[in-house]
């Protein structure tokens, strides 16, 4: 088996709220969205529509968001699993300190950047769905 890439699919409450957070706070771009009618793919979110899926990207990272009802319908084994995650999504970035200063007042929970014993400076925050996002930069 050859693995080509990993794209997490987050179960979320609200596609528009989630995409807005990833765009305005974290600087991701919307690649595509699927309205709840599931009759096509759109490149922008319309105010008068609800969505079941969206794909966002930034640099080499992609993330998928799927509304909870749609996710549990598609991934049957998730039917009885409580909403939320027990993992963190750890992203290595450049410019950690400036990125931290840019977002620290835009999020409800955030840790202070700290130097880890394994050579990374890192901090953590949460998205609107409670998913933990880690950001790290290699240090000398």
DSSP class of 80: T
pLDDT of residue 85: 66
Q: Which long-range contacts (CB under 8 A, 24 or more apart) does 2-9 make?
A: 5/62, 7/62, 7/63, 7/64, 8/63, 8/64, 8/89, 9/64, 9/65, 9/66, 9/71
- Domain of residue 47 covers 1-81
Judge if 27 and 76 occupy the same domain.
yes
Judge if 13 and 76 occupy the same domain.
yes
Q: What is the pLDDT along the chain (140 residues), one digit of tens a residue?
A: 777 888 999 999 999 999 999 999 999 999 999 999 999 999 999 999 999 999 999 999 999 999 999 988 888 888 887 776 667 899 999 999 999 999 999 999 999 999 999 899 999 999 999 899 999 999 97
Judge if 89 and 43 occupy the same domain.
no
For the entire predicted model, the pTM comes to: 0.88
Do 106 and 119 touch, CB atoms closer than 8 A?
Answer: no
Q: Name the nearest CA neighbour of 107 among 26, 40, 17.
A: 26
Do 56 and 19 touch, CB atoms closer than 8 A?
Answer: yes
């Amino acid at each position: 088996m050859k693995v080509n890439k990993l794209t997490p699919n987050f179960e979320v409450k609200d596609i528009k709220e989630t995409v807005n957070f990833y765009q305005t706070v974290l600087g991701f771009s919307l690649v595509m969205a699927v309205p709840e009618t599931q009759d096509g793919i759109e490149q922008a979110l319309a105010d008068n529509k609800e969505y079941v899926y969206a794909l966002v990207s930034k640099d080499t990272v992609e993330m998928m968001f799927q509304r909870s009802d749609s996710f549990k319908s598609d991934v049957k084994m998730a039917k009885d699993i409580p909403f939320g995650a027990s993992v963190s999504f750890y992203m290595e970035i450049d410019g950690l300190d400036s990125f931290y200063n840019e977002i620290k007042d835009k999020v409800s929970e955030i840790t202070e950047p700290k130097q880890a014993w394994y050579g990374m400076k890192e901090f953590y925050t949460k998205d609107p769905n409670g998913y933990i996002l880690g950001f790290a930069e290699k240090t000398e």
